[in-house]
């Protein structure tokens, strides 16, 4: 325990970023942790026994401290070879902000604002530029359309693009805070609209960072989000790997903001649909223009026209049109989804843990 305090947080930041530097994460960690907690985290991955030996504390102290850090979102744990191993979580900001527990330690409003500003700057100036995040061969997320806006003339909605099918197939569902909106604070849309599924949901429920909800409650969250004009997207996995379904805005969401504002066009898949306006029915009221978060609709004369290149096929414009002058048209086959899915990890918890020893 001979690190100068500033050095501890810089070293820990590198451990969380697996060797990369950050201009923001050391201060984020310093605001959220004390030096002893940071030194304990630097001993990971290991069991409480090994951590206690490495930094000279008792087993009970190490175990209780690691459990507290687990609840707060800094680590995850799993059983390995008959003992519990703790490791740093590889998506730290997401875990820290999902349930606002950090605000209990940042009692001063100025400190809270500073903390969130740092998190937001870290995303915008570092994470969004990271090739691992922004130049993936297969995007991590994809937009799914509002189900009721899809005409049956296009055939049955695929289970992987059906919010109702995804919710119905989940064995465990949790509601938690929207990390992006908590962090960015660019609008007054609700933050309690993030839905988690199965193993991912169990992690957050166990930590106290998510509330177990029924399928009916999940549908209510989606309906509320649709009324507010929020876009549904989810992780781009097959049915066995579904983790989350978000209701997002382009001003806060790290993915949608990354595309619309920061120009990261390859981080999210569009749905299989595009909006199409019927000029004979369109009255030029402009509601669809206000509703569209991708700036994909404009007026040509007094009729709405859709820019196919910008449209993501979310269905928000369709749901707001009282004249039925706009519809979703299926423009891609099932392979648009089924041929571009991310593989499901064998172990969700382990996939989220940094098991590599840091130097």
pLDDT in tens, 308-327: 999 999 999 999 999 999 99
Q: Say whether pLDDT at 133 is over 60.
A: no
Question: Of 148-157, 204-213, 221-230, 285-294, where does mean pLDDT reach its minimum?
Answer: 148-157
Residue 3's pLDDT band, with cuts at 50, 70 and 90, is very low
The confidence band for 137, taking pLDDT boundaries of 50, 70 and 90, is low
Cβ atoms 311, 296 nearer than 8 A: yes
pLDDT per residue as tens digits for the range 7-50: 999 999 999 999 999 999 999 999 999 999 999 999 999 999 99
Average pLDDT, the chain: 90
pLDDT of residue 1: 41
**Does pTM surpass 0.85?**
yes
CATH class assigned to 131-338: alpha beta
Question: Other CB atoms closer than 10 Å to residue 135's CB: what's the count?
Answer: 11
Alpha helix locations (H) across 17-153?
25-32, 35-42, 48-55, 59-72, 92-97, 109-125, 131-134
Residue 156 has pLDDT above 80, yes or no: no
Residue 136 has pLDDT above 60, yes or no: no
5-130 folds as Arc Repressor Mutant, subunit A (1.10.10)
The first and second tokens of residue 349, run together, are 């918890």
Cα–Cα distance measured from residue 134 to residue 66, given in angstroms and rounded to the nearest whole number: 32
Spans of all domains in the chain: 5-130, 131-338
When pLDDT is cut at 50, 70 and 90, the band that residue 150 belongs to is confident
């Amino acid at each position: 325990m001979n690190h100068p305090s500033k050095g501890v947080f810089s070293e820990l930041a590198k451990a969380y970023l697996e060797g990369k530097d950050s201009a923001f994460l050391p201060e984020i960690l310093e605001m959220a942790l004390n030096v002893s907690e940071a030194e304990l985290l630097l001993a990971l991955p290991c069991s409480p026994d090994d951590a206690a030996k490495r930094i000279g504390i008792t087993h009970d102290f190490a175990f209780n401290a690691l459990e507290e850090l687990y609840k707060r979102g800094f680590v995850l744990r799993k059983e390995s070879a008959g003992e519990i191993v703790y490791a740093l979580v590889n998506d730290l900001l997401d875990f820290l902000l999902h349930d606002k527990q950090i605000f209990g330690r940042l009692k001063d409003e100025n400190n809270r604002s500073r903390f969130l500003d740092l998190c937001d700057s870290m995303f915008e100036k570092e994470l969004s530029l990271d090739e691992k995040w922004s130049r993936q061969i297969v995007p991590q997320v994809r937009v799914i359309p509002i189900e009721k806006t899809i005409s049956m003339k296009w055939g049955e909605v695929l289970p992987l693009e059906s919010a109702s099918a995804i919710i119905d197939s989940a064995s465990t569902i949790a509601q938690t805070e929207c990390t992006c909106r908590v962090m960015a604070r660019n609008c007054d849309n609700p933050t309690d609209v993030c839905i988690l599924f199965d193993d991912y949901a169990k992690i957050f429920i166990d930590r106290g960072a998510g509330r177990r909800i029924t399928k009916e409650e999940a549908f209510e969250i989606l309906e509320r989000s649709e009324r507010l004009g929020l876009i549904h997207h989810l992780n781009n996995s097959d049915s066995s790997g579904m983790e989350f379904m978000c209701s997002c805005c382009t001003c806060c969401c790290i993915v949608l903001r990354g595309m619309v504002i920061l120009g990261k066009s390859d981080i999210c898949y569009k749905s299989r649909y595009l909006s199409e306006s019927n000029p004979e029915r369109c009255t030029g009221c402009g509601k669809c223009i206000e509703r569209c978060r991708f700036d994909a609709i404009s007026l040509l004369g007094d009729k709405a026209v859709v820019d196919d290149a910008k449209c993501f096929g979310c269905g928000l414009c369709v749901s707001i049109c009282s004249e039925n002058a706009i519809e979703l048209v299926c423009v891609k086959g099932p392979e648009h989804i089924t041929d571009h899915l991310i593989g499901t990890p064998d172990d969700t918890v382990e996939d989220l843990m940094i098991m590599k020893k840091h130097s």
